[in-house]
Amino acid sequence: MGKVPFAATSEYALLRAHMETPPPPVPSPSSLPSPRRVPVLPWVVAGIAAIAAAAAILRGPSSPPPMLAPAPTALPTAAPATPAPALTPQTASFAQAQRGEVVHFENTLGMRFVPVPRTAVLFSVWEARVQDYRAFAQETRREWPKPDFSQGDDHPAVNVSWEDAAAFCEWLTKREQRSGRITAQQRCRLPTDEEWSWAVGLPPESGRTPQEKNRKMKDVYPWDKGRGTWPPKRGTEGNYCGQETKGKAGSMIAGYTDRRENTAPVGSYEVNANGLYDLGGNAWEWCEDEYEPGKPTRVLRGGSWVDVNPAFLLSSFRFFDGPGYRYVDRGFRPVLAGDLSRRGWSARALSFSPLPFSFFPREAPKTF
Least confident stretch, 30-44, 169-183, 335-349: 335-349
Q: What is the pLDDT of residues 194-220, one digit of tens each?
A: 999 999 999 999 999 999 999 999 999
For 91, 111, 126, 141, 367, the CA distances from 129, given in Å and listed in that order, are: 22, 9, 8, 18, 14
Q: Is the dihedral of CA 226, 232, 234, 237 positive or negative?
A: positive
Domain extents in the chain:
94-343
For 28, 114, 189, the CA distances from 101, given in Å and listed in that order, are: 112, 11, 23
263 Cβ contact list (under 8 Å, min separation 6):
147, 149, 151, 155, 156, 158, 239, 282, 283, 305
Bigger pLDDT: 112 or 85? 112
Looking at residue 255, what DSSP letter applies?
A: T
pLDDT for the residue 137:
98
Confidence tier at 4 by pLDDT (50, 70, 90): very low
Bigger pLDDT: 191 or 22? 191
Least confident stretch, 80-84, 106-110, 270-274, 353-357: 353-357
Query: Do 105 and 123 contact (CB within 8 A), yes or no?
Result: no
Taking the C-alpha atoms of residue 105 and residue 275, their distance in angstroms, rounded to an integer, is 13
Confidence tier at 7 by pLDDT (50, 70, 90): very low
10 Å Cβ neighbour count for 327? 17
Q: pTM to 2 decimals? A: 0.69
316, pLDDT greater than 50? yes
From the list 144, 139, 249, 122, the residue with the least C-alpha distance to 189 is 122
Beta strands in the chain (DSSP E): 105-106, 112-115, 121-124, 186-189, 284-290, 298-301, 319-321, 330-332, 335-338
Looking at residue 337, what DSSP letter applies?
A: E
Chain Cα centroid distance, residue 34: 99
Provide φ and ψ at 47, rounded to 5°.
-65, -40
Q: At what angle do helices 162-179 and 130-140 cross, to 10 degrees?
A: 80
The chain-wide mean pLDDT, for the chain, equals 79
pLDDT for the residue 314:
97
Q: What is the CATH number of domain 94-343?
A: 3.90.1580.10
Query: Do 220 and 315 contact (CB within 8 A), yes or no?
Result: yes
175, pLDDT greater than 80? yes
Confidence tier at 224 by pLDDT (50, 70, 90): very high
Query: Do 336 and 96 contact (CB within 8 A), yes or no?
Result: no
Taking the C-alpha atoms of residue 63 and residue 152, their distance in angstroms, rounded to an integer, is 78
pLDDT for the residue 365:
34
Q: Is the dihedral of CA 221, 226, 229, 231 positive or negative?
A: negative
Q: What is the pLDDT of residues 136-166, one digit of tens each?
A: 999 999 999 999 999 999 999 999 999 999 9
